[in-house]
């Protein structure tokens, strides 16, 4: 049973402290979006979105207590870094020096290493205006953290707009050259958390190329055209129908999508580009993903096996949600042809992703 949103009148964000695990912040607008963000992992813990009848439901998957979740739930809703996605063999060479990272997953570094940003308690401050409300979260990642060079100071903003937009903004500075790639790892089900799977959702991705991967989900060659392949999502497709096309293992065997899509080029003015549209016909909810990032990781949760128990008490099984992670490309520190993820002293890392909700038609 998806619970109703907490009573909230649209005032400044409300903080509920937890001495052991950080803070839970609640913010939003009446009859619009209401969000909960936990400071452990700078984590989107819940997001209530109205359906076509104006009835809100939490559309974000997550464990009841982010601070005490099983390891299988460590990335749910979290800010992942210092480098989201995979770095092959847990190493990269920068300016002639090889850096070795903490590694998981067959010796590769995933989402920043064994103790990534998802496991840290961030500092938070509230932001509130008549049109936008939310939190800014701050973290210092010291030189050598998980093997990455340089002291990195990171700020993540999570703001709800009165216009039914949720904005993630990322900023970082460093005192030594280092790769940076930050994203939010929320899983969405627009029928509601615990409502079943997302196989009846419709998905479109604005990408003409994708990144092929090997059995370890590490890039295995140059980007390839999606045309004529199972990766062609340029027009909306029901996810079950997309997955049924030849070329992908079934979700119930751990398959499905877990791939980077190369987004259409954008102007050089820092403007947003549309990355994807997710729509649940059963509820009318529609989520448009816009970003300044060049890539989008689409993951249809094929490896969910019921280990994680969600906020509603439901065990999450294959296809229970979908992650749409805006990003630089996987293993870019080792792939010179990809957009560079390297941040240098005197520069500022900037990234922005907007989730735009509605119930059209």
Q: For residues 21 and 24, what is the distance between their CA atoms, to the nearest angstrom?
A: 9
User: What does the alpha-carbon distance between residue 6 and residue 72 come to, in Å, rounded to a whole number?
Assistant: 27
pLDDT at 355: 98
pTM comes to 0.95
Q: Determine the Cα–Cα distance for residues 108 and 113; give it in Å rounded to an integer.
A: 9
Residue 258: inside a domain: yes
pLDDT at 230 exceeding the cut of 60: yes
Predicted local confidence at residue 187, as pLDDT: 98
Query: Is residue 168 a contact partner of residue 154, using CB atoms and an 8 Å limit?
Result: no
Look at the chain and report how many structural domains it folds into: 1
Task: Identify whether 173 is part of a domain.
Answer: yes
- Model confidence over 46-100: pLDDT tens digits? 999 999 999 999 999 999 888 777 888 999 999 999 999 999 999 999 999 999 9
Q: Mean pLDDT, to the nearest integer, of 20-26?
A: 87
Over residues 98-108, the mean pLDDT reads 94
Domain membership of residue 119 (yes or no) is yes
∠290-352-181 over CA atoms, to 5°?
110
Tell me, yes or no, whether 4 lies in a domain.
Answer: no
- Cα 173 to chain center, whole Å? 21
Query: What's the pLDDT at 112?
Result: 97
- Residue 61 tokens read as 């998957």
DSSP 356: E
Q: Name the residue range of residue 67's domain.
A: 14-358
- Is position 2 within any domain? no
Q: Which residue has the tokens 């987004």?
A: 263
Question: DSSP labels for 104-161?
Answer: BGGGBEETTSTT-GGGSB-EEEEEE-SSEEEEEEEEEE-TTGGG--S-EEEEEEEEEE
| CATH number for the domain harbouring residue 327 | 2.70.98.10
Residue 198 has pLDDT above 60, yes or no: yes
217 domain-assigned: yes
Backbone angles phi, psi at 176, to 5 degrees: -155, 150
Q: pLDDT class for 6, splitting at 50, 70, 90? A: confident
Q: Given this model, what pLDDT does residue 250 score?
A: 76
Query: What mean pLDDT comes out for the span 147-163?
Result: 97
Q: pLDDT value at position 267? A: 65
**Mean pLDDT score, 243-250:** 84
Catalytic residue among 111, 185, 259, 328: 185
Report the 10 Å Cβ neighbour count for 11: 10
> Do 303 and 286 touch, CB atoms closer than 8 A?
no
Residue 361 has pLDDT above 90, yes or no: no
- φ and ψ at 28, to 5 degrees? 155, -160
Cis before 50? omega within 30: no
CA distance 78 to 45: 8
Catalytic choice (36, 202, 325, 328) = 325
Average pLDDT (217-233) is 94
Q: Report the mean per-residue pLDDT for the chain.
A: 93
The pLDDT of residue 254 is 72
Mean pLDDT value of segment 245-253? 78
Within-domain flag for 143: yes
Quick one: pLDDT band at residue 160, thresholds 50, 70, 90? very high
Q: Is 185 a catalytic residue?
A: yes
Residue 253 has pLDDT above 90, yes or no: no
Q: Is there a domain that residue 8 lies in?
A: no
**CA–CA separation, 179 vs 144, rounded Å?**
13
């Amino acid at each position: 049973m998806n619970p109703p949103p907490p009573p909230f009148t649209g005032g400044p964000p409300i903080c509920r402290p937890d001495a052991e695990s950080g803070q839970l912040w609640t913010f939003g607008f009446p009859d619009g979006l209401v969000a909960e963000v936990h400071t452990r992992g700078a984590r989107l813990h819940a997001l209530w979105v109205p359906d076509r009848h104006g009835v809100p439901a939490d559309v974000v998957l997550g464990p009841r207590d982010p601070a005490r979740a099983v390891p299988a739930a460590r990335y749910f809703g979290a800010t992942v870094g210092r480098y989201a996605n995979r770095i092959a063999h847990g190493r990269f060479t920068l300016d002639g020096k090889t850096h070795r990272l903490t590694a998981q997953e067959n010796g590769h570094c995933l989402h920043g290493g064994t103790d990534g940003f998802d496991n840290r308690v961030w500092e938070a401050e509230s932001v509130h205006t008549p049109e936008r409300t939310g939190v800014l979260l701050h973290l210092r990642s010291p030189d050598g953290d998980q093997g990455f060079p340089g002291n990195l100071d990171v700020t993540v903003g999570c703001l709800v707009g009165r216009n039914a937009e949720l904005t993630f903004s990322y900023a970082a500075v460093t005192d030594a050259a280092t790769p940076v790639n930050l994203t939010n790892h929320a899983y969405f089900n627009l029928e509601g958390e615990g409502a079943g799977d997302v196989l009846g959702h419709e998905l479109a991705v604005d990408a003409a190329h994708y990144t092929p991967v090997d059995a370890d989900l590490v890039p295995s060659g140059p980007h390839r055209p999606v045309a004529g392949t199972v990766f062609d999502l340029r027009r909306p497709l029901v996810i079950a129908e997309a997955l049924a096309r030849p070329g992908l293992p079934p979700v119930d065997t751990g398959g499905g999508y877990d791939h980077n899509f190369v987004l259409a080029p954008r102007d050089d003015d820092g403007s947003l580009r549309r990355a994807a549209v997710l729509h649940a016909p059963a509820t009318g909810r529609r989520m448009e993903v816009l970003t300044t990032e060049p890539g989008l990781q689409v993951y249809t949760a094929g490896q969910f096996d019921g280990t994680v128990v969600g906020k509603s008490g439901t065990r999450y099984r294959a296809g229970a949600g979908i992650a749409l992670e805006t990003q630089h490309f996987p293993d870019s520190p080792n792939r010179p042809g990809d957009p560079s993820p390297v941040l240098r002293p005197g520069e500022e890392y900037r990234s922005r992703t907007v989730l735009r909700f509605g119930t059209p038609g």
